[in-house]
Structure 1
Amino acid sequence: MMLIGITVPLLLLLLALARWGWGAQGAQTQEALPPGPTALPLLGNLLQLESGRLDRALMELSGRWGPVFTVRLGPRPAVVLCGYSALRDALVLQADAFSGRGTMAVIERFTRGNGIAFSNGRRWRTLRNFALRALKEFGMGTRTIEERILEEAACLLGEFQATIGTPFDPRRLLDNAVSNVICSVAFGNRYDYEDPEFLRLLDLFHDNCRIMSSRWSEMYNIFPSLLDWLPGPHHRMFQNFAELRVFISGQIQRHQQMRQPGEPRDFIDCFLDQMDKEQEDPESHFQEETLVMTTHNLFFGGTETTSTTLRYGLLILLKYPEVAAKVQAELDAVVGRMHTPRLEDRERLPYTNAVLHEIQRFISVLPLGLPRALTRDTHLRGYFLPKGTFVIPLLVSSHRDPIQFKDPDCFNPTNFLDDKGNFQSNDAFMPFAPGKRMCLGASLALSEIFLFFTAILQRFCLLPVESPTNIDLTPQYTGLGNIPPAFQLHLVAR
């Protein structure tokens, strides 16, 4: 493994000097854990895990050690779940036991276990139940959110129309559109695509997503005490976090000044109302810091993963123009070109629906998932796993499971079609993680992916700047997320 440009002897020396900082992480023994590859002192199995390709390396190790095995990421043991069957047995059939969130040093330094995505125990359950109710009140899973997405899709199409005749990188426009949907829910308003404050916000999210999917983040999560002292872009990540905190805090302050208690306009107002109700409760989880972190979780989860899926999907359709043409033919036959596709059309568009599911399966936008931690002692596949065990749910391994999908390493929409051409779901489809920790915004993301994609393909033909055979679908970054390489898109009105 390439250790971020540092020679192995020098790194070993630095690790030895910093050993005092890792005692807590190395306290968990590996006695009762499943077997795995032999680990070196301090380094663990890092030399066997190729940086930037951690998901592939873990899948290869699974070929020798089975679907449940242990690796050491530096001093920390981690139990890896590989393949649909193992993921189901743990995250679905033992959902409560595997419902804890494993700590990541990068995230812990910013959130300190606060917010929805990275909290645990009673705080997590309280915040999740509240967020589900509040988001439903403001349109999640209803026709109201569909209208918001369609309004934003119309704005996006207008921006796309202005590019006709000139190749462009669609990343920023897609970021704008997707983020505005969650902005309308959290802040009660959308932003103009040229708003400098909005653009800065999106740049911060995008920069952090890239860094968190790089080898720097991998190494920080394993050796935080050491990386705190080494120069590198990981320090910029924490500066970005601080700037995001200031932005969100400013939004909260404006809401506090302008809101009418008991008459919430958006998620922040709803949270502030709950803070008022529990202000006398010393154990309340509804504090301003919790609101900052929860809002950040909603934004990051609701912007980056969906925008990345849309961007990666467009690149895939450039690679396979025959698939895009078949989707457009189905849209023309079922919806026509005079009416905007709606969620109710999804059942009548089996091939389109299959293509969108296959895009998500193929790219596995969060290949490692987010780490879990056992909430109690349990048994899995004959192994005893003690409470607190750090677990890596390798979601990409379900999507690449040859038992569940034919030619899993190839893009093939028929993975989600039966013999008669009808859409066919598959329990091994896990882009939002199964079980109690399923992504809070899964239904919103699926709605956005369907409505944005169909709106674009109904209106435009996608032309690659280079030959489709030369298009490389290999992620530019692979770590926390699979981020596609930068590309340019050439649109032609249909």
Structure 2
Amino acid sequence: MSLMEAFVFFLFSSPSTLLGIVVLLLALCVVSRSFTSQTTRREPPGPRHLPLLGNLRALFKVVVLAGYKTVKEALVNKAEEFGDRYISPIFYDISQGHGILFANGDSWKEMRRFALTTLRDFGMGKRIAEDKILEECNYLIQMFEAHKGKPFDTTSPVNYATSNIISSIVYGSRFEYSDPRFRAMVKRANENIRITGSVYNMFPRLVSWIKNRQLILQNLEMNIREIKELIMHLKETLNTNVYRGFVDCFLMRKQKEEDSGVLNTHYNEKNMICSVANLFGAGTDTTAATLRWGLLLMAKYPHIQDQVQEELRRVVGSSQVRVEDRKNLPYTNAVIHEIQRLANIVPMAIPHKTARDVTLHGYFIKEGTTVFPLLTSVLYDESEWESPHTFNPSHFLDKEGKFIRRDAFMPFSPSTLVSDLQCFFF
């Protein structure tokens, strides 16, 4: 008889022994709860610990933020305390702490500041970038018209168009839709976004061999190779008097740091490659998905589409629509915002991590705790929206039909690069 079998036989051979063990466990539970309540601060509610066994929360402890008031209090009012990123295992494998999305510390802060400043200086929100978008729109319209009114899948054309806008801003030029290298880059980027949320992030050591992880890393390797080749070409043709895009600006800043003898500069090749890849990831898939939702909702609600077209005809006429026209297009502006709200294409913001001990709504959250902000709960918050589950452009209109901004409009999380890029596009 094995040791385990002997223990089980002893346990159940005597009812009094079994009863004694049960009483002991109950006593431990009571003592444990009493001790915990006296020695720990009030933590956010969650599953109760079982005596001796605990629960899965001890394996991976997170705090989930739900509702507009809670998310705003954490990410806006206490942005410093909740400002760090939680870098899941697969994203760390991808970025290695570099770039502008999945990184922390001084490097992340410097790369994010440089990206936003450079994109704005280069034209984000200005006429030059607007012209690039309008140029790409013409190519996209031509591709749509080539189908001559027959049904077709809009996924690839819209993805190509949004990727090309990013390419124009990052590299200074666009690709032809038929370019096999460009198609492969877009496919790999979309594929990685689709499969990054996997069980690997919870149990990386147990499932590091899974097929999806290997595919992501293979795609990453090919993307790095393509980005390096594109950067090398730009470096060889660099003109210090003409800045073609983000990469030129980064190369010039990198050269300046090297000439000044700056050691351990953040402007290195790894940060440049990751930043370029992040810009594509932040701008391409999210924008393309939102545009496809817009096409779907306009087809589903033709009366709203008719009102948008009527306003455009009345205000713009046969002229080219410009960003400056938006202030005179309140209904169209409201429809665009409502599409982003209802589409809810990013249900959860990039996971955060507390930079220090913090108290939120009376609950103590320890430094280093992973935080998941649920943007769905903000966009569909019944205390903020009159009809949260309905496509209703009136959410962004006052009684006089003028456009109004709503604080609870957080389709891509407040104060993030993704959010800034989306504001730029829309």
C-alpha distance in structure 2 between counterparts of 1:294 and 1:35, whole Å: 38
Per-residue deviation at 1:386? 2.1
| Equivalent residue number for residue 277 of structure 2 | 296
Question: Alpha-carbon deviation of 1:170?
Answer: 0.7
Aligned partners of 2:55, 2:62: CA distance in 1, in Å? 11
**C-alpha separation in 1, matches of 2:54 and 2:155:** 37
Q: Percent identity?
A: 40
In the TM superposition, 1:25-64 aligns within 5 A as 33-38=43-48
Q: What is the CA-CA distance between 1:32 and the residue it aligns to?
A: 6.2
Kindly provide the CA deviation profile for residues 64-92 of structure 1, in whole angstroms up to 9, marking residues without a partner as x.
Answer: xxxxxxxx3x8211111100000111111
Q: Does 1:199 align with 2:153?
A: no
Q: Deviations over 1:412-452 (max 9, x none)?
A: 11111112221121000001311xxx232545433433xxx
Partner of 1:95: 79
The aligned residue for residue 284 of structure 1 is: 265
1:310 to 1:421, Cα distance in 2 relative to 1, 3 A: same
Structure ranking higher in strand proportion: 1
Letter in 2 for 1:446: C
Give the conservation status (yes or no) of the 8 Å contact 1:141–1:443: no
Pairwise CA distance, 1:357: 0.6
What residue number does 1:172 align with? 156
Asked if 1:384 corresponds to 2:364, the answer is: yes
Equivalent residue number for residue 123 of structure 1: 107
Which amino acid in the other structure matches residue 97 of structure 1?
Answer: E
The corresponding residue for 1:14 is none
**Which is higher, the Rg of structure 1 or of structure 2?**
2
**Secondary structure, aligned partner of 1:228:** coil
Question: Secondary structure of 2:288's partner?
Answer: helix
Q: Residues of 1 paired with 2:391 and 2:55: CA distance?
A: 35
C-alpha displacement of 1:185: 1.1
Residue 163 of structure 1, CA deviation: 1.4
Which of 90, 100, 115 does residue 106 from structure 1 map onto?
A: 90
Match of 1:317 in 2: 298
Q: Which residue is 1:275 aligned to?
A: 254
What does residue 422 of structure 1 align with? 402
Q: How many residues align?
A: 384
> 1:234 Cα shift?
3.5
Map of 1:95-244 to 2, 5 A cutoff? 95-212=79-196, 217-229=197-209, 231-244=210-223
**Partner Cα distance (2:412, 2:368) in 1:** 23
Answering whether residue 325 of structure 2 is matched by residue 345 of structure 1, we say yes
Look up the match of 2:226.
Answer: 247
Aligned to 1:445: 422
Q: Classify 1:118/1:339 alpha carbon distance in 2 versus 1 (closer, same or farther; 3 Å).
A: same
Shift of 1:263: 4.4
Task: For residue 223 of structure 1, report the CA deviation from its aligned partner.
Answer: 1.1
- Give me the TM-score of the superposition, normalised by structure 1: 0.74
SS in 2 for 1:246: helix
Q: Is the 8 A contact 1:371 1:392 kept in 2?
A: yes
Q: Offset of 1:42 from its aligned partner?
A: 9.9
Q: What is the deviation of 1:250? A: 1.2
Structure number with higher helix proportion: 2
Are the structure 2 counterparts of residues 42 and 407 from structure 1 closer, same or farther at C-alpha, using a change threshold of 3 Å? Answer: farther
Aligned to 1:226, what secondary structure does the other structure show?
A: coil
| 1:409 alignment partner, SS class | coil
Alignment of 1:405 onto 2:385: yes
How many angstroms apart in 1 are the aligned matches of 2:143 and 2:287? 19
For residue 391 of structure 1, give the secondary structure of its aligned residue in structure 2. strand
Residue 235 (structure 1) shift = 2.4
Question: Helix, strand or coil: the match of 1:271?
Answer: helix
Change (3 A) 1:250 1:42: farther
Per-residue deviation at 1:232? 3.3
Letter in 1 for 2:251: L
SS in 1 for 2:348: coil
